[in-house]
Structure 1
Amino acid sequence: MSCFNKILLFFLSFLLIHPLESVPSIIPLNGSCTDKCGNIVLKYPFGSGFGCGHPAFSRFIKCTTSGVLQFSTTSGIYTISSLDYSTNTFVLTDPFMSTCSSMQNSGSFTLDHDDSSLTPFSIMKQNMFVLLGCSTTSAVFDPKQDLCDGGSGSNVCRGMYSCKGVTGIGLEPNDPISTCCVYDPPVPVGSGYGLNLPRLQCSSYSSIYGFGGDEGDPMKWEFGISLQYNNSYYVDESCKNCEDSGGFCGFSGADESFACICRNGVNSTINCYGRGYALSGTWRHKIQTGMSIGGIIFFWMMMLFI
C-alpha cells in the first residue's frame, strides 16, 4: 500500500473512531420545560426556564424550583402574580413596593431597554406610579417640568396618605400631600421605563393598576406593575404543531432556532409524533459508541492487509 493510501486510511479510521466527539449537539437536551409554574399556566411565548418558550422572553422570565414565576430586570427580581393571555398582560409584585397596608423605603424599578435589543414588554398606560415621602426640593415638583398629575393624582395621593401604613416611611396618616406625586414621566411609558428613587429624592413608590371598583377606599386598590407583552412572537405553525403533539415550544443552538421539547426528554425539530427528531443524549452516545467500535474493527482489519 502506498504512503498516500496509508494516510487516507488513517484519517478515515480516525473519523470512525471519533465520529462526533468534537461536534456539539444541535439541540440541547431539556426535559425540564413545564406547562405550569405554581398555579400559573404557561403558554408560548412564556416558558419555565432557559430553552423553553421564546428566547426574547426567556431572558427575563423563569420558574423557580419552588414554583414561583419570576421576572428579572437590572433593578431586581419580581414575582409574576397573574398572567392573562386574553389581554396579553401580566402583573409584577415588588416586595419592596409600598401599599396601603404596608409602606417602606423602596428601591428603584427599571424596565430594561436598549437600542440594539427592544424588549417585548411595555408598561400599561393605566398603570399609575405614586412617589411617596419625596423631598420638597425634588425635581418632580419643579413647575417647569410638570411631572406630577395635579388633577386626579391629588385624590390618589390623599388616599395613600390616609393609610395607616404611611407610618412605615415616617409620616402620619392624613399628613399634607405636598411630598406625594403621581408621577407622569417626561417620556411615553413603555420599554425602557426607569424609576430612580434616589435621583428623584423620594423614599418609596407605589404602583396601582386598578381601583377594585372603589376609588375612595385605598385598601381595595390593586397594587402591582401591569405589563403588556408583544404577542407577535409566535413561530408560524411550528409551535402549534409542537403543542398539539404534547411538546413544549422552545429554542436551541447559538442561533436560538425553534425546537420542540418533548416530555420524554427527546427534542425535535418539528413535533413529538416521531418526525424530525434530533439526537437525544442517550441515542447520541449509542451511535458514537457503535461507530467507534466499528472504526476500531475496520482499522485492524485493514492493517492485516497492509
Structure 2
Amino acid sequence: MSSTSNAWIFTYILLSLPVHFTVSAAVHPFPINGTCHDTCGTMPVKYPFGSGFGCGHPDFSRYVRCNSDMLEFSTGTGIYSISEIDYTTGSLIITDPFMSTCSSMQNSGSFSLDRASPFSLTGENIFVLLGCSTNSPLFDPAEDLCATGSRSRVCRGLYSCKGVTGLGLPQNAPPSTCCVYESPIQLAGYTLDLPKLQCSSYTSVYSFGGSEGDPAKWKFGISLQYNGVGRTPPLVVLAKAMPGAGHGTQKFKPSSVLEPETVKLAKERNKRSSKWNLALVAGTFYLKIGNERSPRVSLELIPSWVKCSTLFSN
C-alpha cells in the first residue's frame, strides 16, 4: 500500500488519545464524557459549566450541576436554582427559594459566597434586609452599613407590598426595620449572616424592570459574575491530513486537551527521533518538521465539548 493510501483518515468523532507532548504551562484536563449534555431542562449549558460529573471546567463543577432538569448553584448556605445565564457577559442569576419578594415575604436563611469560588457578586445587586431589630448592628451610626438617599426608597417600596405581612409587619410599615445594603462590585467571599444582623429576611433586587416606583415589577435574584478561569474553553487538537500527506505523518499522535491561552510551543519526538514542533499560528496548529511547515498537514483546534475523534488507517 502506498504512503498516500497509508495516510491518516480523520473524522470529527470522539477524541480519546493519550498525551504525547508536554507544555510548560499548566494544562487543565477536560474529560469528554458521553453523558454530557448541552441543555439542562430548557437551560442551555455551555462551557465552562457542565451537565454532570466530568463535564465542563473542573473549577466550576462543584458549584454548578444539573439535577432533575434544573441547573443548580451550590454554596455553603444552600442550593439555588439558576434562572438565567448570559455567556456573553459571563454572568448568571440565581434564585433563593426562601428569599423575600414583593408578592411573598418570609423568614429566610443566610446567604454566602465561597471565597475560593470562581464567582463574585455584580454591581447590579441591591441587597435589602427586612424585619430587622432596632438593636441590629446595622443601625449603629458609627458603622454606616445602610444606604441612604435614593436607595432608601427601596425599603419604602418593599414595605408597601402586601407580602410584608408574612414578616408580621403591616403593609406600609415604617421602614425603620429595613436596611438597604449595596454590595461592592466583584466582591468574593461574601456572607450575609441574618442571625448576626438580627433580621428576619432578605431579598436582592438586580433590576427595577424599568419601573423603580413599582416593586411588583422589580426583578428579584442574585446576580453573579464568573471569573476568567475556563471562560475560553480548552481546545481539542485534531490532525487533519491533506491529500497526498507523506511519510512521517503516521508517527504523530495528536494530544487531547490544551488551554489556548497558555500554549505557545509544544514539542514531541516520533519514533525516528526527529523533532516536530507544534506552533500556534493564527488560531490553527501547524505541524512543523525542522524549520519547514508541512503544506499538507495541519492540526486544527476544535472546542472540547464537541464530540470528535480521530480514526487511523493501518
TM beyond 0.5: yes
- 1:54/1:250 contact within 8 Å kept: no
- What does 1:27-38 correspond to in 2, within 5 Å? 30-38=33-41
CA distance in 2: counterparts of 1:179 and 1:83, whole angstroms: 33
Which residue of the partner structure matches residue 221 of structure 2? 224
Which residue of the partner structure matches residue 48 of structure 2? 45
2:85 is the counterpart of 1:83: yes
* Structure 1 runs not aligned, ≥5 long: 1-25, 242-248, 252-268, 278-306
Q: 1:194 aligns with which of 191, 206, 214?
A: 191
Q: 2:174 aligns with which of 166, 176, 179?
A: 176
Cα deviation digits, residues 15-44 of structure 1 (max 9, x gap): xxxxxxxxxxx9978422100011111111
Cα deviation digits, residues 230-265 of structure 1 (max 9, x gap): 134146651597xxxxxxx999xxxxxxxxxxxxxx
Q: SS where residue 165 of structure 2 aligns?
A: helix
Letter in 1 for 2:77: S
- 1:153/1:181 contact within 8 Å kept: no
Letter in 2 for 1:274: S
Letter in 2 for 1:140: L
Letter in 2 for 1:32: T
2:223 is the counterpart of 1:211: no
2:80 is the counterpart of 1:73: no
Q: SS where residue 78 of structure 1 aligns?
A: strand
2:176 is the counterpart of 1:141: no
Q: Report how far residue 270 of structure 1 moved.
A: 10
The alignment of Structure 1 onto Structure 2 pairs a total of residues equal to: 222
Cα deviation digits, residues 251-306 of structure 1 (max 9, x gap): 9xxxxxxxxxxxxxxxxx997443399xxxxxxxxxxxxxxxxxxxxxxxxxxxxx
Q: 1:60 aligns with which of 38, 55, 63?
A: 63
- 1:147/1:184 contact within 8 Å kept: no
CA distance in 1: counterparts of 2:306 and 2:82, whole angstroms: 29
Change (3 A) 1:270 1:182: closer
CA distance in 2: counterparts of 1:27 and 1:207, whole angstroms: 35
CA distance in 2: counterparts of 1:157 and 1:89, whole angstroms: 26
Which residue of the partner structure matches residue 114 of structure 2? 112
Letter in 2 for 1:38: G
CA distance in 1: counterparts of 2:145 and 2:207, whole angstroms: 21
- 2:99/2:106 contact within 8 Å kept: yes
Q: Report how far residue 190 of structure 1 moved.
A: 1.2
CA distance in 1: counterparts of 2:55 and 2:305, whole angstroms: 15
2:309 is the counterpart of 1:274: yes
Which residue of the partner structure matches residue 294 of structure 1? none
Change (3 A) 1:273 1:56: closer
- 1:51/1:250 contact within 8 Å kept: no
- 1:52/1:250 contact within 8 Å kept: no
CA distance in 2: counterparts of 1:59 and 1:276, whole angstroms: 34
Letter in 2 for 1:151: G
- 1:90/1:226 contact within 8 Å kept: yes
Change (3 A) 1:183 1:31: same
Letter in 2 for 1:207: S
* Structure 2 runs not aligned, ≥5 long: 1-28, 239-255, 259-303
Q: 1:151 aligns with which of 146, 149, 152?
A: 149
- Greater helix share, 1 or 2? 1
CA distance in 1: counterparts of 2:216 and 2:233, whole angstroms: 44
CA distance in 1: counterparts of 2:206 and 2:305, whole angstroms: 40
CA distance in 1: counterparts of 2:196 and 2:65, whole angstroms: 30
Identity of aligned residues (%): 59
Cα deviation digits, residues 135-157 of structure 1 (max 9, x gap): 00000101100000011221100
Which structure has the bigger radius of gyration?
A: 1
- 2:99/2:203 contact within 8 Å kept: yes
TM-score in terms of structure 1 length: 0.67
- 1:46/1:53 contact within 8 Å kept: yes
Q: SS where residue 178 of structure 1 aligns?
A: helix
Q: SS where residue 199 of structure 1 aligns?
A: helix
- Greater strand share, 1 or 2? 2
Change (3 A) 1:184 1:276: farther
Change (3 A) 1:250 1:178: farther
Cα deviation digits, residues 163-208 of structure 1 (max 9, x gap): 00000000011110000000246x7651100000000000000100
Letter in 2 for 1:94: D
Letter in 1 for 2:97: P
Q: SS where residue 126 of structure 1 aligns?
A: coil
Q: 2:162 aligns with which of 143, 161, 164?
A: 164
